[in-house]
Structure 1
Amino acid sequence: ICTAHSKPKYRGSLHCLKVIAKEEGFGGLYKGCSALLCRDCSSSAIYFLTYSTLCDWLTPAGKNKPGFLVVLLSGGFAGVLAWGLATPMDVLKSRMQVDESGQHKYRGLIHCARQSVREEGVKVLFKGLGLNCIRAFPVNMVVFVTYEAVLRFTDHFTNKK
């Protein structure tokens, strides 16, 4: 029976850390780490490669720095593409992290992937993809505008000397 007023398991981040370490040991703090590593390594490579390539393609010949609109579009598309690649591993990471200590439904990343696909089909790996992409476009537009602004700001001061 689920009640509307059930108490949360954790009373904050330090309490969460303490409970997980007590119930699952030190390794419990790293559940989902393999999926996180796969997610972040591949998506970061795609993220920066996409941004750089799009900036190069969209910057007119003769200009050495991309314009504001180019940065916005390149950053937005880079974020969407990176999250498109990252979402399946993010789904698996989340499933591994919420696997309760007494339950141990998943023995590792491959087992989690197989079980999830067997039970719910391949579409399970893309849960949240639409929302990730909708969020990723504007967020990464701002990230790269800020990145370029900081680069130009630091270039201004380093070139003065």
Structure 2
Amino acid sequence: MVLGFFKGMSFPISSVAVVNSVIFGTYSNSLLLLSSMSHQERKGQPPNYGHIFVAGSISGFVQAYCLAPFDLIKVRLQNQTEPRSRPGVAPPRYSGPLHCARTILREEGPCGLFRGAWALVLRDTPTMGLYFLTYEGLSWWLTSDSKEPGSATMLVAGGFAGIMSWTAATPLDVVKSRMQMDGLKQREYRGLLDCIVSSARQEGPCVFFRGLTLNSVRAFPVNAVTFFSYEHLLRFLS
């Protein structure tokens, strides 16, 4: 059914505002702090790309721990293959996000909600730095003769920032998803490194780039709109 493509959607929708506020709030404040400490903030000068990367990496590290339980529940719900309740057919393991969270807490303990969190941290810390670095760099390059980036620049820079970050993130995203699904029936991986080695041995190095094309196709419009909304909202509020 068509509804199968929307499995696990309700939880990300309810949490996306919190996650994005953590990402952009942490990034903005970290960049402001780094700029004030170096006393190098000057109008008309190129941004300090080192500060941008560090501030973005900090935001990735912080949001990874906020995102971990939400992401785990989303992945578990999306990977349910059982049909909805029918006569004579076993019901799905999880009836919804709250039931999924309660089941994980009961069967795997509080730490179960953070399964795959280290892979998420290793994925998001450098890639969020690369994410903001790509956006700020393209924005400066496309608007070096004007004061502020225009709407078209925001969309293009945001879209390419999304593609760049997902290109770097996909290998660890594959590992993260496998570790999050591990433990439903029996533990297959002893840890992060074991998951990487086992996956490469069984399916080859190409397994770490599985889903990259789809991630890139999705990343361009999503992140273009994200930065467009972020920039215009900042201008509106100021």
Q: 1:148 to 1:3 in 2, by over 3 A?
A: closer
Aligned partner of 1:145 among 228, 231, 236: 228
Aligned partner of 1:123 among 191, 206, 210: 206
Aligned partner of 2:120 among 36, 52, 55: 36
Partner of 2:69: none
The farther-off stretch of 16-25 and 37-46 is 16-25
Amino acid of the structure 2 residue aligned with 1:126: F
* Regions of 4+ moved over 6 Å: none
Q: 1:123 to 1:6 in 2, by over 3 A?
A: farther
Partner of 2:172: 89
Say how many residue pairs are matched. Answer: 153
What 5-or-longer segments of structure 1 have no aligned partner?
Answer: 156-161
Distance in 1 (CA, whole Å) between partners of 2:114 and 2:219 is: 26
CA offsets 1:20-54 (integer angstroms, 9 cap, x no match):
12222222111100011111111111111110000
SS in 1 for 2:91: coil
Q: How does 1:51-90 map to 2 (within 5 A)?
A: 51-61=135-145, 63-90=146-173
What 5-or-longer segments of structure 2 have no aligned partner?
Answer: 1-80, 84-88
Amino acid of the structure 1 residue aligned with 2:189: Y
Amino acid of the structure 1 residue aligned with 2:96: G
Larger-gyration structure (1/2): 1
Q: TM-score, normalised by structure 2?
A: 0.61
Distance in 1 (CA, whole Å) between partners of 2:217 and 2:90 is: 32
Distance in 2 (CA, whole Å) between partners of 1:3 and 1:139 is: 30
Amino acid of the structure 2 residue aligned with 1:41: T
Distance in 1 (CA, whole Å) between partners of 2:187 and 2:207 is: 20
Distance in 2 (CA, whole Å) between partners of 1:137 and 1:153 is: 24
Q: How does 1:14-33 map to 2 (within 5 A)?
A: 14-33=98-117
Using the aligned pairs only, state the percent identity: 49
Q: TM-score, normalised by structure 1?
A: 0.88
Partner of 2:130: 46
Partner of 2:217: 134
